Amino acid sequence: MEILIVFGTRPEAIKMAPLYHELQKSSIEVKICVTAQHREMLDQVLDFFEIVPDYDLDLMQANQTLNGLSAKIFIKIDEVLTIEQPDLVLVHGDTTTSSIVALAAFHLGIRVGHVEAGLRTYNKKAPFPEEINRQITSRIADIHFTPTKQATQNLLKEGILQDYIVETGNTVIDALFWTLHKIEKEDYSHLEIEELKRILPADKKIVLVTGHRRENIGEGFHNLCEALLKVSEREDVVIVYPVHLNPNVKDVVHELLSNKENIQLIAPVSYPAFVWLMQQSYLIVTDSGGIQEEAPSLGKPVIVTRTVSERPEGVEAGFSTLVGTDRKKIINAIQDILDNFTGFDSPMNPYGNGNASKRIVDFLSHYFIG
């Protein structure tokens, strides 16, 4: 039996890496195909997790459109699927790669497994285009690996049978623990981490910031930057912002926040360096989904600069706070945590305990072998 894992972005690679390594321990043959929807950021993850793809479609181009990318994925993945003819294609989450590869596999009569299935906002414009990508993939998939009870319930309400849903937790927690184990070894050395240790003050609270969502480009990022400027007036704070490479984000952030006291704008960092940064932070401000999932395992509160999240579990459990991109709400939420946060009542991460990959492989071994 053969499984083909296909992904294209850094977040997908992080979340599929532990699953790939777990599959390698089994009797199931597994191969990797990357579309390289992201290139440099993807390559860093592949290197860190010691993965060499069997197929690299290398489709990344500057400023390419979603339709142009989709067309290229269709053409290139058709060649791979025709050569390999796998028993199952595994895709992840909500990317253009995931939805297009799932549809291409369906066209060829190949079964599809969807990892991190069932997340929903039911707002097709937020996140864009991820919400529709998820829903498309759910209509195609034969097996749905959901990370939480809420995700399972979403699929059941949409008419997907319980027999085809496997609740596993989120593989990102597996990847996080794998990374912590590696970077905390005495003999582990990482140039980015050493540089971060050099430039970050040890006597200030670190506010770690990320942002990349398309729906926040424009006014949303302006508001975020203005809020950060206000927070940076505090003497007890340093803001660390690895700035996304998208020019629509990068140009605005550098225009408004460059050369400001208590603000460190840095280039995007590798995954191990980012995990180290999360460990050192006092709080995290982000529009990322993966960070919302990882932060509870590190005991870090998250302020989410989105009006709606397909990850409500963290909000309901008190780990995350939704503020949108309203300047005053962002400022007030950051100030409140800086002044009053003393830790979480329950350390239980609603997104899993690090066993998701094993649960998926156990199911697939039974599914194929019996």
Q: Which two tokens stand for residue 145?
A: 């690996």
Whether 244 is a known active-site residue: answer yes
Whether 47 is a known active-site residue: answer no
What are the start-end ranges of the H helices in 232-355? 247-257, 271-280, 289-298, 312-316, 327-340
Whether 212 is a known active-site residue: answer yes
At 355, the amino acid letter reads N
In the chain, which stretches have pLDDT less than 70? 369-370
Residue 350: its pLDDT value, please?
95
The active-site residue, picked from 38, 244, 306, 359, is: 244
CA-to-CA separations, 73 to 6, 80, 104, 105, 113, in angstroms, rounded: 11, 11, 9, 12, 18
Pick the CATH number of 2-169+355-369 from 3.40.190.10, 3.40.50.620, 3.40.50.2000, 3.20.20.450: 3.40.50.2000
End-to-end Cα, the chain, rounded Å: 12
The active-site residue, picked from 94, 131, 294, 310, is: 94
Superfamily (CATH) of domain 191-340: Glycogen Phosphorylase B; (3.40.50.2000)
**Helix orientation angle between 356-369 and 10-24, rounded to the nearest 10 degrees:** 60
Q: Which two tokens stand for residue 66?
A: 């979603």
Whether 359 is a known active-site residue: answer no
Whether 214 is a known active-site residue: answer yes
Whether 21 is a known active-site residue: answer no
Give the separation between CA 192 and CA 179, rounded to whole angstroms: 15
Residues of the chain with CATH 3.40.50.2000: 2-169+355-369, 191-340
Q: Which two tokens stand for residue 87?
A: 């028993």
At 18, the amino acid letter reads P
Backbone angles phi, psi at 26, to 5 degrees: -95, 180
Residue 370: its pLDDT value, please?
56
The active-site residue, picked from 22, 130, 294, 313, is: 130
